[in-house]
Amino acid sequence: MRVEHQAGRTLKLTVSYDGTRLVGWQRQAEGDSVQALLEHALARFEGAPVVVHGAGRTDAGVHALGQVASAHVTFDHDTDTLMRALNAQLPSDVRVLRVEEAGPGFHARFDARSKTYRYLIRNAPFVSPFERAFVWHVPQPLDHAAMQSAAGLLEGTHDFAAFQSLGSDTAGSVRTISASGIRRHVPPLGNPLHPSRDGDADLLAYEVSGDGFLRHMVRTIVGTLVEVGRGWREPASIAAILRTRRRDHAGPTAPPQGLFLVCVDYD
Question: Using one digit for the tens of pLDDT, what is the confidence trace for 14-70?
Answer: 999 999 999 999 999 999 999 999 999 999 999 999 999 999 999 999 999 999 999
One DSSP character per residue, 175-195 reads EEEEEEEEEE-PPGGG-TT--
pTM of the model: 0.92
Same fold, 9-102 and 114-265: yes
CA 115, 58, 213, 179 torsion-angle sign: positive
| Residue 3 predicted with pLDDT over 50 | no
pLDDT tens sequence across 205-233? 999 999 999 999 999 999 999 999 999 99
In CATH, what is the architecture of 9-102? 2-Layer Sandwich (3.30)
Nearest-angstrom CA–CA distance, 18 and 180? 24
- Residues marked as catalytic: 59
Calpha distance 104→3 (Å, rounded) = 10
Residue spans of the domains in the chain: they are: 9-102, 114-265
Q: What is the DSSP string of 221-262?
A: HHHHHHHHHTTSS-TTHHHHHHHH--GGGS-PPPPGGGEEEE
Give the model's confidence band at 169: pLDDT under 50 very low, under 70 low, under 90 confident, else very high.
low
- Provide the pLDDT for residue 6: 62
Residue 196: pLDDT band with limits 50, 70, 90: low
pLDDT confidence of 150, banded at 50, 70, 90?
very high
Provide CATH code, domain 114-265. 3.30.70.660
Which H/E stretch holds residue 151? helix 144-152
Interval 252-267: pLDDT, tens: 999 999 999 999 999 8
